[in-house]
Amino acid sequence: MIVILLVAWYVVGYVISLPPTVPQASAAGVTNVTVQTVASYGRPPHPDWVSYLVKNESGQWVHSTIWKVPANSIVRVTVLQYDGQSGLRNPFLGQPRGVVGGTMTVNGKPLKVLNPDEASHTFTIPDLGVSVPLKGIADDAPNQCAVTPCTLGQAHYTITFEFRTGKPGLHRWQCFVPCAAGWLYGFGGPMQTVGWMDGFIKVV
Amino acid sequence: MSHTETPAPATPAAGRSGILTFNLLWGLVGLVVGYAIGLWIGHRMGSRFDWVAETDYNDVAILIGYALGTLGYLFGLGILNHPIARMFGRSGGDIAKSSTGWSRYARASTDHKVIGNQYLIGIGIFFFIGGLNAMLIRTELLHPNSPTFSPGQYLTIVGLHGAMMIMMVSSIILGPFGHFFVPLMIGSRRMAFPRLEALSFWLLPLAGVVLMSTIAYGGFPTGWTGYPTLGSQADSGMDGYLVAFALVGIGMILNALNMLVTVFNHRAPGMTWARLPIFVWSMLTTSVLMLLGPPMLLAAVVMEMLDRTSGTAFFSSSSGGSPFLWENLFWFFGHPEVYILALPGFGIVLEILPVFARKPLWGQRLAIAGMLGVTLLSFMVWQHHLFVSGINSSLRPFYMFTTELISVPTGFIFLCGIGTLWRAKIRYTVPMLFALAFFFNFLIGGLSGVYLSDVPSDVSLHGSFFVMAHFHYTIMGGLVFAFFAGIYYWLPKMAGVELNERLGKIHFWTTFVFFNSTFLPLFAVGMLGMPRRVATYAPHLQFLNDWVSISAFLLGASMLVFLANFVWSLLVARIPAAANPWMARSLEWQLPTPVPVWDFDGPVRILAGPYEYGNPAAPPVMELGPPIVAAGD
Amino acid sequence: MDSRTDITRAVIVWVVLAIVADLLIGFLLAPHMPPGHFSNTASDQTEINNILALILTPIGLGVVTFFVYALVSFRQPAGAIEDGPPLRGDRRLQLGWVGVTTTVVIVLAIVGTIELLQAPNSQAGSGAGGGQGASAISHPSGNPLQVQVIAQQWQFTYRYPQYGGVETFSLALPVGRTVEFHVTSIDAIHSFWAYQLGVKADAVPGADNVAFTTPEHMGLFEVRCAELCGLWHGYMYSRGHVLSSAGFSKWIAHAQIANAPATHYLPKYAHVYYPLPLQRGG
């Protein structure tokens, strides 16, 4: 009996474990996605874990990395980058790829390549060939964000880029910077859990 | 020639009764209390480390928790009573065999028959949980790219399936049948070390609970092989995996020692090596593997624990260690482990074949030589798991040769099987059907293994579903079919009731058909390029994968037929079994059913071998001396 | 009926079955046997797979024939329990079985070893051995194209040391030229599996794993990770291209220009890399 309950408990636990899918509003073939990256989520279940948050259609911050965007459209991503610098293990990923026009901007200025030491995260969708490095704020920046969701008044970089979605499908995205402090090679915990530094893009 | 030990008197149940009895309930209480204390100590110690705070996990605390939890559990079960009594200079008492009531199954019993039944239930539960995980895996693979589970949890399900089956179920034959029948088959009244026997059983459910507890810590991503770097990166669920594997490893070593000493020293007069039943030989050779393999595993597991908690770098190449160290230590245990799973199967089917063929075991010495050959060679082949890993390439021809060579002693078993059936008088009972299916499945498993032993062929098949199909044919098609043969054959003696034969035949045919329909297509899937342990695959493989998934669900359903048969026969119908329903000659069937508490009423003398079918001149297999009067009665 | 008749009959059934099965395998299955003929290593693996199928199928059929023959012929009469003849073994038969199986095994091992010892681009074979570690058992003649495969969680990237050490996301190879893969990893253990090329080599951090192949056709091939490496192991999937020589020159020239900003920051080409951060503490 105990065993059956135990089994039932963990089966149910697994099935309901994916974070919610957040649909993104689009107009005239362009979808605006606004996300923020934070050094620590600050809430249960893992207050110390580095994470992404995303704005839903009504403009509220949601803790999820599964986003729904329309097919054959352009996605314009705005990243509010509140996390510090960790450094890339593979400096090759410091160059933006697969973005519309081949460029991205940091605080409005175009960026050709990022010094690998300054990277905080990358936003990479390997299936679509999209990879963008996200510059981290300096360690001694004033007014750093401590509680999520972070506000525009706190230290951050505003990073923008656009990519094309193509045909309908399900694509994984992830971060390539070993930003999970505390794990060997920085690649445990949030780096290997959907909802933190990994997610899906549902192209429909 | 060995002797029968001076029999101990049949003492009643241990003095305590009521709420204060040492039993499983108090063991679980001890587990929880010990775990909580360990966690508290660990947090006091570990909170100064930065990384502990930043990861939300404290691996030190969790490991100490598991260690103290183990102690509390063993104390609650009463397993530590005897050592503690001896430590204080008391005698600790004789070995008691209490044999009344269901409650004896929830206690640390020293009766090998109770322990055999405990193993049957315990391992059965883990087998069904592991099977359930397999159903979840096949659910995920119904569609090429549409996750039913989160990818991390999918990996945990894969890991739990593998770990459940390899760790918990590895003693599926040595546990229930080895403990119940080896003493009976050699004319002994007990195992050599009954208290050790209790300990080695009770470590198993504990390991199972620890393994299941990994879910609460986010699972573990490494599969059952636990390859490092990934294993070192992983969340705290990995600690549970390591502790569970360590507990299983210790249990295996204790089990093996006990079995070896029993077979060497507790054979009745007249039980010469030539008369030793083939099943006992298989237990003997399995025990040699269980004694020599798991110490390597324990070493590796402890190193990994230190890497995860103390900042050592045994397996971290950037700090001077090497992941190859784990790969070699793990597979030095891991490959003998594969034969720990195969040899008991050989033993059971060769034990069953003569009974239902009514003929002596053909080429008994060849069969024994085959088992000894497998035992020896299995320690010389482990690097075939590393053919493409970047080991020194001049070593590969040697391991290719030894791996292919191991098919020679395995072939002996097949020759003995054919020889026994040739010109026999075959009865198609349920155990016989399972034993025959064992040969068919193991043949496919063995032949597909040749592809994997040949390096050029292995390059395209390594790490693919082909490997997965191969070892399911040898383990599921081999070990598990042999287990079912054993359970239909021996359960009348173990439980004293008959199993329903019609349901048994339905169970056999559904299992056999759906097993092959599940795993045969997987050879093709692997050859077409699908790697193991993936949640996504190429869309053109969807038809084959769906076929496999549906077959797997039906295979799962066929297990429910068995469960229904087992529960109905055991709890509802309860038709008492005859003492020797199969008219077998071997020693265990000469005893009454149910088997008396002290097994044999008098000193046993073995007069003939167990397989003297068709030999009218053969004497009965044993004679009993006058009953032993227990001292003090 | 004596024992000899039974054995003769079973042997006849077996021989017929074995011939039919081998003919079917040889003419129907062998031309389609995976992994195909996209490269010289894949061709050799296909050939070995076919040889094994042709040898092992008759062996398997032999065992099955004798089992089935026994199961059909030697039943217990209904309603009775009779004993069979007390046969205990046959020395000559057992020795013969040991001899035959040992010979088959030695032949198989010799065939495999000869294949492994071939130079990777010789006429006789390809040394189709996948990842051979840092010191390969045999080396190709001429000047192979060197390609480094860098595995990371969870993507393969590629470096071409003969072209200024440029690193790329996608893998392209020229047709007909021997390729020398140097497979390594910068975090966990991965396995580089180029399915159609017949190349598989584990990517182990701190180790250089060499594998050779010569692509023989132009087109696409699949690259997958074949060793469990964490969350996105199942998604570590991409395609590579085999191009004409001219097409490859154009592609690599374009890659050198396009990736120049990143190349500037890359570490000097080496067989293994130990990038920071190394340990806990991130």
For residue C138, CA distances in Å to B454, C127, C141 come to: 18, 8, 10
Please indicate whether, in this complex, the C-beta atoms of C84 and B444 are within 8 angstroms of each other.
no
Query: Sorting pLDDT into bands at 50, 70 and 90, what band is C98?
Result: very high
The residue among C156, C152, C161, C155 whose CA lies nearest residue C179 is C161
3-class DSSP state of B571? helix
Position C262, amino acid: A
pLDDT of residue B12: 41
Please indicate whether, in this complex, the C-beta atoms of A11 and B136 are within 8 angstroms of each other.
yes
Query: Is some CB atom of chain C closer than 8 A to the CB atom of B319?
Result: yes
Q: What is the pLDDT of residues C164-192, one digit of tens each?
A: 999 999 999 999 999 999 999 998 999 99
B184/B195 Cα distance (integer angstroms): 18
Comparing alpha-carbon positions, the chain C residue that sits nearest to A176 is C153
B47/B331 Cα distance (integer angstroms): 36
Please indicate whether, in this complex, the C-beta atoms of A15 and B149 are within 8 angstroms of each other.
yes
Q: What is the pLDDT of residues A94-112, one digit of tens each?
A: 999 999 988 899 998 999 9
pLDDT over 80 (residue B96): no
Q: Which of B50, B407, B423 sits opposite C105 (nearest CB)?
A: B407
Strand order in the sheet with A66-69: A21-23, A66-69, A198-203, A169-174, A119-125, A130-135
Q: Smallest CA–CA separation between C263 and chain A, in Å?
A: 7
pLDDT over 70 (residue B213): yes
For residue B329, CA distances in Å to B425, B453, C201 come to: 48, 20, 20
CB atoms within 10 A of CB B265: 12
Which of chain B's residues have a Cβ under 8 Å away from the Cβ of A185?
229, 233
Residue position matching structure tokens 């360690």: A139
Whether the upstream peptide bond of residue C154 has omega within 30° of 0, thus cis, is: yes
Please indicate whether, in this complex, the C-beta atoms of C187 and B229 are within 8 angstroms of each other.
yes
Q: Smallest CA–CA separation between B220 and chain C, in Å?
A: 9
For residue B548, give both structure tokens: 């496999």
B147/A17 Cα distance (integer angstroms): 12
Q: What is the pLDDT of residues B114-152, one digit of tens each?
A: 999 999 999 999 999 899 899 999 999 999 988 888 888
3-class DSSP state of A28? coil
CB C76 within 8 A of CB C82: yes
For residue B538, CA distances in Å to A165, B135, B140, B460 come to: 21, 21, 14, 17
A50/A36 Cα distance (integer angstroms): 11
What percent of chain B lies above the pLDDT cut of 70? 93
- Rama region for C124: left / alpha / beta (φ>0; ψ in -120 to 50; rest): alpha
Chains sharing 3 or more CB pairs under 8 A with chain C: A, B
Which of chain C's residues have a Cβ under 8 Å away from the Cβ of A90?
150, 152, 157, 167, 186, 275
CB A201 within 8 A of CB A171: yes
pLDDT of residue A57: 87
Reported pTM: 0.93
Chains sharing 3 or more CB pairs under 8 A with chain A: B, C
Lowest mean pLDDT among B604-608, C179-183, C224-228: B604-608
Interface test with A, best of C148, C150, C154, C266 (most A CBs within 10 A): C154
Which of chain C's residues have a Cβ under 8 Å away from the Cβ of B400?
109, 112-113, 116
pLDDT over 60 (residue A8): yes
What is the 8-class DSSP label of residue B530?
Answer: P
Chain-centre distance for alpha carbon B629: 38
Q: What is the pLDDT of residues A143-158, one digit of tens each?
A: 888 777 888 888 899 9
Query: Is some CB atom of chain C closer than 8 A to the CB atom of B527?
Result: yes
- What is the value of ipTM here, to two decimals? 0.94
Position A70, amino acid: P
Query: Sorting pLDDT into bands at 50, 70 and 90, what band is B365?
Result: very high
Q: Rounded mean pLDDT of C155-162?
A: 95
Please indicate whether, in this complex, the C-beta atoms of C282 and A179 are within 8 angstroms of each other.
yes
Comparing alpha-carbon positions, the chain A residue that sits nearest to B132 is A7
pLDDT of residue A15: 54
Query: Is some CB atom of chain C closer than 8 A to the CB atom of B149?
Result: no
The residue among A172, A175, A192 whose CA lies nearest residue A183 is A192
B503/B512 Cα distance (integer angstroms): 14
Q: Which of C169, C188, C282 sits opposite A97 (nearest CB)?
A: C169
pLDDT of residue B93: 66
B584/B354 Cα distance (integer angstroms): 9
What percent of chain A lies above the pLDDT cut of 90? 43
Q: Rounded mean pLDDT of B499-527?
A: 96
Which of chain C's residues have a Cβ under 8 Å away from the Cβ of B405?
102, 105, 109
CB B583 within 8 A of CB C80: no
Bridge partners of residue A64, in order along the sequence? none
pLDDT over 90 (residue A142): no
CB A79 within 8 A of CB A159: yes
Q: Rounded mean pLDDT of B58-84?
A: 90
For residue A62, give both structure tokens: 């949601």
pLDDT over 50 (residue B9): no
Position C247, amino acid: G
Bridge partners of residue A33, in order along the sequence? A77
Q: Which residues contact residue C29 at a Cβ distance below 8 angstroms, ignoring those fewer than 6 apart?
A: C50, C53
Please indicate whether, in this complex, the C-beta atoms of C108 and B532 are within 8 angstroms of each other.
no
Please indicate whether, in this complex, the C-beta atoms of B318 and C278 are within 8 angstroms of each other.
yes
Please indicate whether, in this complex, the C-beta atoms of B316 and C76 are within 8 angstroms of each other.
no
B561/B509 Cα distance (integer angstroms): 11
Round the CA-based radius of gyration of chain C to a whole number and report it: 26
- Rama region for C206: left / alpha / beta (φ>0; ψ in -120 to 50; rest): left
3-class DSSP state of C172? strand
Size of interface A-C (CB pairs under 8 A): 87
Please indicate whether, in this complex, the C-beta atoms of A170 and B146 are within 8 angstroms of each other.
yes
For residue C52, give both structure tokens: 């094994």
Q: Which of B51, B146, B152 sits opposite A192 (nearest CB)?
A: B152
Q: Based on the number of CB atoms within 10 Å of its own CB, is C221 exposed (0-12), middle (13-18) or buried (19 or more)?
A: buried
Q: Of residues B48 and B201, which shows the higher confidence score?
A: B201
For residue C29, CA distances in Å to B517, C34, C129 come to: 20, 10, 23
Which of chain B's residues have a Cβ under 8 Å away from the Cβ of C59?
447
Biggest alpha carbon–alpha carbon distance for chain C: 88
Q: Which of A94, A174, A183 sits opposite C265 (nearest CB)?
A: A94
Helix axes B278-292, B323-357, angle to 10 degrees: 170
pLDDT over 70 (residue B278): yes
User: Would you mind telling me the total number of residues written for chain C in this entry?
Assistant: 282
pLDDT of residue C25: 94
Which of chain C's residues have a Cβ under 8 Å away from the Cβ of A92?
157, 167, 259, 262, 265-266
Comparing alpha-carbon positions, the chain C residue that sits nearest to A111 is C261
Report chain C's mean pLDDT, rounded to a whole number.
90
Dihedral of the CA atoms C207, C210, C215, C218 (nearest 10)?
20
Q: What is the pLDDT of residues B428-450, one digit of tens each?
A: 999 999 999 999 999 999 999 99
Lowest mean pLDDT among B105-109, B387-391, C181-185: B105-109
Most confident of B22-31, B280-289, B570-579, C132-141: B280-289
3-class DSSP state of A169? strand
Which of chain B's residues have a Cβ under 8 Å away from the Cβ of C67?
417-418, 421, 436, 439-440
Bridge partners of residue A49, in order along the sequence? none
3-class DSSP state of C224? strand
Q: Which residues contact residue B376 at a Cβ distance below 8 angstroms, ignoring those fewer than 6 apart?
A: none
3-class DSSP state of B56? coil
Chains sharing 3 or more CB pairs under 8 A with chain B: A, C
Q: Smallest CA–CA separation between A3 and chain C, in Å?
A: 28
CA A10-A14-A19 angle, to 5 degrees, is 145
pLDDT of residue A12: 62
B532/B536 Cα distance (integer angstroms): 10
Lowest mean pLDDT among B98-112, B273-287, B516-530, C51-65: B98-112
pLDDT of residue A5: 66
C263/A83 Cα distance (integer angstroms): 26
Q: What is the pLDDT of residues B466-479, one digit of tens each?
A: 999 999 999 999 99
For residue B242, give both structure tokens: 């390591």
The residue among C137, C202, C197 whose CA lies nearest residue C173 is C197
B486/B448 Cα distance (integer angstroms): 26
Q: Based on the number of CB atoms within 10 Å of its own CB, is A122 exposed (0-12), middle (13-18) or buried (19 or more)?
A: buried
Contacts of B560-564 with CB under 8 Å at 24 or more apart are B561/B503, B561/B506, B561/B507, B561/B510, B562/B484, B562/B503, B562/B507, B562/B511, B563/B128, B564/B503
Q: Smallest CA–CA separation between C36 and chain B, in Å?
A: 10
Please indicate whether, in this complex, the C-beta atoms of C262 and A92 are within 8 angstroms of each other.
yes
Please indicate whether, in this complex, the C-beta atoms of A189 and B132 are within 8 angstroms of each other.
no
pLDDT over 70 (residue B18): no
The residue among B145, B121, B80, B234 whose CA lies nearest residue B545 is B145
Bridge partners of residue B606, in order along the sequence? B622
Q: Rounded mean pLDDT of B2-20?
A: 46
What is the 8-class DSSP label of residue B148?
Answer: S
Comparing alpha-carbon positions, the chain C residue that sits nearest to A193 is C231
Please indicate whether, in this complex, the C-beta atoms of C235 and A172 are within 8 angstroms of each other.
yes
C242/C199 Cα distance (integer angstroms): 14
B496/B491 Cα distance (integer angstroms): 7
Q: Which residues contact residue C79 at a Cβ distance below 8 angstroms, ignoring those fewer than 6 apart?
A: none
Please indicate whether, in this complex, the C-beta atoms of A181 and C282 are within 8 angstroms of each other.
yes
Q: Based on the number of CB atoms within 10 Å of its own CB, is B561 exposed (0-12), middle (13-18) or buried (19 or more)?
A: middle
Within 458-487 of B, beta carbons closer than 8 Å to C belong to 458-460, 462-464
Q: Smallest CA–CA separation between A56 and chain B, in Å?
A: 21
Comparing alpha-carbon positions, the chain B residue that sits nearest to C57 is B447
pLDDT of residue C116: 87
Size of interface A-B (CB pairs under 8 A): 78
Query: Is some CB atom of chain C closer than 8 A to the CB atom of B436?
Result: yes
For residue B171, give both structure tokens: 């003693």
Size of interface B-C (CB pairs under 8 A): 310
For residue C127, CA distances in Å to A203, B155, C139 come to: 44, 35, 9
Lowest mean pLDDT among A3-7, B297-301, C109-113: A3-7
Q: Smallest CA–CA separation between A160 and chain B, in Å?
A: 29
Q: Smallest CA–CA separation between A95 and chain C, in Å?
A: 6
Residue position matching structure tokens 């030539």: B274
Position B282, amino acid: S
pLDDT of residue A3: 63
Residue position matching structure tokens 């390997």: A126
For residue B560, give both structure tokens: 């429910």
CB A97 within 8 A of CB A129: yes
Which of chain A's residues have a Cβ under 8 Å away from the Cβ of B55?
48, 180-183, 188-189
Chain-centre distance for alpha carbon B544: 31
